[in-house]
Amino acid sequence: METMTTVTSTGGSTKVNHAVFASQSNFLTESHLCFNKDQFSRTDFIVERFLKLARRRASLQQIHNDLRVYLKIVQNSMIELINDDYADFVNLSSNLVGLKETIDKLTKDIETIWHDFCSNTEAVKQSAEFVAQKTTELIECRKAQCEIRGQIFLIKSIERLADKIANCPKEIEQFWLQNFVDAVIDIVLWFGKVNVVDDKVAAAYDICLTHVGRLTEYWLIQDLKGDCRFIEQILGIITLNKSTDSAVSCVMTEIIAEYIGEPRSNLGDFLIEVYATIRKLRENWMQKMENSGASFANISSFLDKCLLTFIVSSLDQYFGSVVVPSDNRLFHRCYKTTCDFIGNWPDAAKSCTVLRMIRNRFNLVVYFKLETQQFLSQLKDQLDPSIIKLITNEKKEEWEEKIFYDFSKLVIDTLERIWSDEVYLPTLIDKFWDFTLKVLAKYLEWIEGIKSYYWIDRKAPEDFEIWRLFCALYADCVTVDNRTFGIALSSIWPKIREHELDVTIFGQCLSIFSTKIAEKIQEFEKIIVEDAVTSVAKVLDGVCGIPRQYRWTKKPAPANISPYISETSAALKLFKDEMNHYCWSEENITSVYKQIFAESMEIFSVKAKQVLKSVEQTETSLQRFKRKSMPVNENNADSDENKIRRQLLLDLDYFKTLAASCHTEVLHIDELMLRANPSTETIQIPSLIQSVPSTLETSTADITEEV
């Protein structure tokens, strides 16, 4: 059979049909068909369309004949396909029958093999279980043998140790002591290995170890009092016997306590003596061990524990009134001594637990409260601004900074006290710093309270001089700020650096405090200037009374300054004297004094302008009347208005001279003098020089020349 190929009518690619088989004759017949057989396999096949296309190539008769030929071809192909499929089916059936026979045979063989395997496995399993049972019995027997052997060795080791204890010599030797150590090791090891111990054996074991503990403690005391030759072996026995605490207590009672003796009345000296004795004992033991060839490094932890534990016990027994302080100075002395002792203790890292116990015996919280509570109470009592107190009867050298209020002095004294070597303790540095910030905050609070009470709320008595209060407070703020930084530089920073800390952040805290103080100082300057100007303004109201002195009074023409001028000059001098009294710097005195004088002169100028305006108005209204009633040859320079002008001119000239002495511009005064001086004549001021106070710095010659 050959594969039949068909060619499409459009001349496309050749397709192989594996289902249709035909002879060579059929192939030739099919190739001459007048239609394309592929059209029958199209899904959109239409008879009319097929006939229309076929009619283009052949007649109906030819189409009919070709369809019959094509039918024959299809029928033959189907018959051949059915025959091929039937032959394949027959072959497959034969093969399936043979496969079934093979599977049945294999199944029978597998069942036979599995049955034989199960029979053989059951026998092996029974044998394995028997072997396992016998092995378990053998293991249990072996364990029982080991347990019995261990009990036997334990009993023998107890007998051996008991014999050693019974035959203990009065003076031990190295060889005998080593055998004794071996006996103790044996009894401890075998007792640990035995799981079940008979009650009698356990009682004998305890009795032996009790005797061992007593002997080792006795040997330890004698060896420490002697040359320390056997201390390593003795401590080894003590460690095995787990009686270290008992041995420590014995050394404390039998040796250390005898060296220390009875407590003294002066607990500070007694504590120093205790620490010195402890150091001396340790050095002696170390020297003895070096001489005997023993390794002190292996024994130092035990001896240090004995020595330091004795100190803990002594603090609890003899220093109860110190560690919970009733006398702060004694507490400070004892604690500093203890810190020095701890800091100089060798191998402190190995004994840090006991050393920490010694330090913690001192109640630092109570000490800190006792030292600071009195200051806090005083600060709280004086915080009320209504009870502000000035310091009285305190004499200081000229070069010393002066403090004028009790609260300011208390702040300085508090800071100096808590950071002094008599009070300061390194362990409390954090608390002392927090307390310092709290004290400085209290000072700022006190300053703000004074400002609110006396200036903002105006609760002071009517005759109270507020400017004087703030002059003293100004000086105190400067002093407290300077002294605070002085204390920091001399006391606080060195103590902080001892802890290997950077002082920058601490300095920033003080810088903030200093900034706030500077702000308060500026506020105080404004308050002082405003209150002082207010006081001067009341005196300067006297300029308004000049017209009343000369109108219709027939008083002679003035030759001297007015009384209010003298009062003003005295008031200004008082302000300057007070600032000097309160130790202000020259620069600040000059600045504030100029502000007071300048603002006072502005007020004076306003009042003087009012007087001149009144004089000018009066002159205008009465000028015609005076000309009619006055004799022709009468000098109008003696009129009341001219007398008022003369008096104003004298007063203005005085203030001009005073302004020149303090280097203040007086343009408005010059304008007033020109306005007050009559245009008809020049007013002479013969007695002005004599009326100017001696405090003026301008010379008499300058004044005369200026006049």
pLDDT confidence of residue 420? 93
CA–CA gap between residue 495 and residue 400 (Å, rounded): 26
540: left (phi over 0), alpha (psi -120 to 50) or beta: alpha
| Structure tokens, 408 | 């300011």
Distances (CA, A) of 46 to 33, 60, 536, 700: 19, 17, 131, 147
- Is residue 193 within 8 A of residue 224, CB to CB? The reply is no
Nearest in space to 20 (alpha carbons), one of 44, 45, 1: 1
pLDDT value, residue 693:
41
Q: What is the DSSP string of 488-546?
A: IIIIIHHHHHTTT--SHHHHHHHHHHHHHHHHHHHHHHHHHHHHHHHHHHHHHGGGGGH
- What are the angstrom distances between the C-alpha of 661 and each of 82, 537, 584, 698? 146, 21, 20, 6
Whether 348 and 355 have beta carbons less than 8 Å apart is answered as yes
Name the helix (H) or strand (E) containing 19: strand 15-22
Taking the C-alpha atoms of residue 154 and residue 662, their distance in angstroms, rounded to an integer, is: 111
For residue 682, the model assigns a pLDDT of 43
Alpha-carbon distances of 615 from 19, 377, 556, 623, rounded to whole Å: 147, 64, 18, 11
For residue 109, the tally of other CB atoms under 10 A from its CB is 10
Residue 428: phi and psi, rounded to 5, are -100, 20
Contact 438, 515 (CB under 8 A): no
For the four alpha carbons of 336, 337, 339 and 340, in that order, the dihedral sign comes to positive
Phi then psi for 132, rounded to 5 degrees?
-65, -40
Residue 498 three-state SS:
coil
pLDDT, averaged per 10 consecutive residues of the chain (707 residues), comes to 37 39 45 78 83 82 87 88 85 83 83 83 86 90 86 88 87 87 89 84 89 90 87 88 90 89 84 92 90 81 91 89 85 92 88 91 92 92 85 53 87 94 92 95 94 85 82 92 94 93 92 94 91 86 77 72 84 87 86 87 84 75 54 53 80 82 74 70 42 36 31
Nearest alpha carbon to residue 267 among 279, 275, 257: 275
Whole-angstrom Cα distance, residue 640 to residue 546?
Answer: 10
Q: Which whole-number Å values give the CA distances from 318 to 312, 337, 690, in the listed order?
A: 10, 16, 84
Cβ(184)–Cβ(212) under 8 Å?
A: yes
CA distances from 136 to 47, 142, 146 (A): 97, 10, 15
Amino acid at 336: K
**Helices 231-240, 296-318: inter-axial angle, 10-degree rounding:** 70
Q: Which residue has the tokens 């006049």?
A: 707
Would you give the DSSP letter of residue 167? T
Q: How many CB atoms are closer than 10 A to CB 540?
A: 25
Distance CA 449, CA 473 (A): 12
Contact in structure between 243 and 211 (CB atoms under 8 Å): no
> Do 474 and 521 meet the contact criterion of CB atoms below 8 Å apart?
yes
Flag whether the pTM goes above 0.75. Answer: no
Cα(487)–Cα(496) distance, rounded to whole angstroms?
13
The domains of the chain are located at 2-128, 365-501, 539-706
Q: What is the three-class DSSP state of 99?
A: helix
Closest CA to 575 of 539, 531, 524, 605: 531
What's the pLDDT score for residue 419? 95
**Greatest Cα pair distance in the chain:** 180
Phi and psi angles of residue 646, each rounded to the nearest 5 degrees, phi first:
-60, -45
Sequence letter at residue 508: Q
Can you list the positions of beta strands (E) in 28-101? none
Q: CB-hemisphere CA count at 13 Å for 461? A: 3
CA distance 167 to 332: 56
Distance, CA of 625 to chain centre:
89
Q: What share of the chain is helix, strand, coil (3-state, %, to 5)?
A: 75, 0, 20
